[in-house]
Amino acid sequence: MGMKKDYFNSATIKSQQLIPGEKWHKYEKDVIPLYLAEPDFLIADEIENALIEAVRRGALLYHYEPKTFEAMAEKIKKKNRINAEPEDILLTQGVSPGMWLSIMHTCGPGDEVILTNPMYGPFHDAVEITHAKKVYWELDFDEGYRFDEEALKECITPRTKLIFVCNPHNPSGRVLTKQELKSIADIAIDHKIHVFSDELHEDIVYDKREHISIASLNPDIESRTMSSWGFSKTFGIAGLQGGYMCYTNKEEMPEVKRKSKGPLRETNSLMKTIAPIMLDDTLNWWRRDIILHLEKIRDLVKKRLSDIEKIDVPELQGTYLIFPRFNYDLNSEQMNDYLLKEARVSLNQGTRFGSNGEGHQRICIATSESIMNEALNRMEKALSKL
């Protein structure tokens, strides 16, 4: 096995520019891209080999792979502690389609979906395109982005049909506590509301924190929660578009599957073929080593950004996305433009995640120490001129 390769810390600006993909090619060549939630890491040998093997075996036809569903159910039972069986699982093209599908299942026109402000952009988009109504559960940076139960209760109306949970949370970097999840679950049960839980970043939690799936708390919340996971963030294979959603509600799941039939076509055959090795213990070494690397980068970023007087840095508990606040006389969009032009670093502007992202930039830290340091040097220099 390729344990000697430096999977996580070897990226250089030159090496990344040789790889096709949006991240390093969207902007001009001298720009360091930290805007997209995608790692600058190598691909695990096990994944590369499994893909090549799948192509050689001709796994490129309409693909029926019962083993994939079995492996998913096994993983969900063991790791997420949800009583999943293969028929409770729907394959999706990444995690994002589940946002749309959960609204289609629970909401009619004018029904309300609760989402946090800030929250990953496509959650907002999903509500907009389905003609449901967004109701914002406000998260406050100065309160450590805590998920406040009373604030959630105030969002509930007779039209509330769905709560979007993102755990670990993009962009706040929070890993929800059991108590926070329990508050959401209790409210959802009391008011007969469904939950869609995006747990794509489940492996990326720091300081030995535990990722808890909301559906695992009790059978009542399990029966109203659609939970979703994928492979893109942990293994750096977003281009394969592989995700899976689990809903153990036997009465409702056939209808969810039926609704998915039009626009969703599971995922591709290569993804289906290689999924089992990303679900069993084969890549546990990767899950361990990625955290060791990311904790180092997180500490480096925290220290260097905190040294800049006008930046407030949140505690990063999970995900490789950090959401600092820049306290300058520029709004989010202006700061984003300034750093692109002056520092040649591209960040994701905070308002893309909701109005509470004003003043913030989201920075992807999943890169090598050398690229991270170079980006921070450039930012530091540019900011010192303001």
Ligand X SMILES: Cc1ncc(COP(=O)(O)O)c(C=O)c1O
Nearer to ligand X, 104 or 166 (CB): 166
Element housing 132 (H / E): none
Q: Hey, what amino acid is at 132?
A: A
Nearer to ligand X, 244 or 286 (CB): 244
Report the alpha-carbon distance of residue 362 to residue 348 in Å, rounded: 5
Tell the smallest beta-carbon distance from residue 316 to ligand X (Å): 14
Report the alpha-carbon distance of residue 156 to residue 237 in Å, rounded: 37
Cα-to-chain-centroid distance, residue 217: 21
Token representation of residue 291: 């955290």
Report the alpha-carbon distance of residue 224 to residue 72 in Å, rounded: 19
Report the alpha-carbon distance of residue 88 to residue 145 in Å, rounded: 33
Nearer to ligand X, 180 or 198 (CB): 198
Tell the smallest beta-carbon distance from residue 330 to ligand X (Å): 25
Contact 245, 227 (CB under 8 A): yes
Nearer to ligand X, 35 or 141 (CB): 35
Q: Which residue is nearest to ligand X (CB)?
A: 94
Nearer to ligand X, 166 or 221 (CB): 166
Contact residues for ligand X, defined by CB under 6 A: 37, 94-96, 120, 166, 170, 198, 200, 230, 232, 238, 243
318 CB neighbour count, 10 Å cutoff = 24
Q: What is the DSSP string of 161-227?
A: EEEEEESSPTTT-----HHHHHHHHHHHHHTT-EEEEE-TTTT-B-TT-----GGGS-HHHHTTEEE
Nearer to ligand X, 38 or 222 (CB): 38
Contact 197, 213 (CB under 8 A): yes
Residue ranges of E strands in 94-172: 112-117, 133-138, 160-166
> Which residue, among 284, 314, 290, has the nearest Cα to 301 in the 3D structure?
314
Nearer to ligand X, 22 or 337 (CB): 22
Nearer to ligand X, 228 or 368 (CB): 228
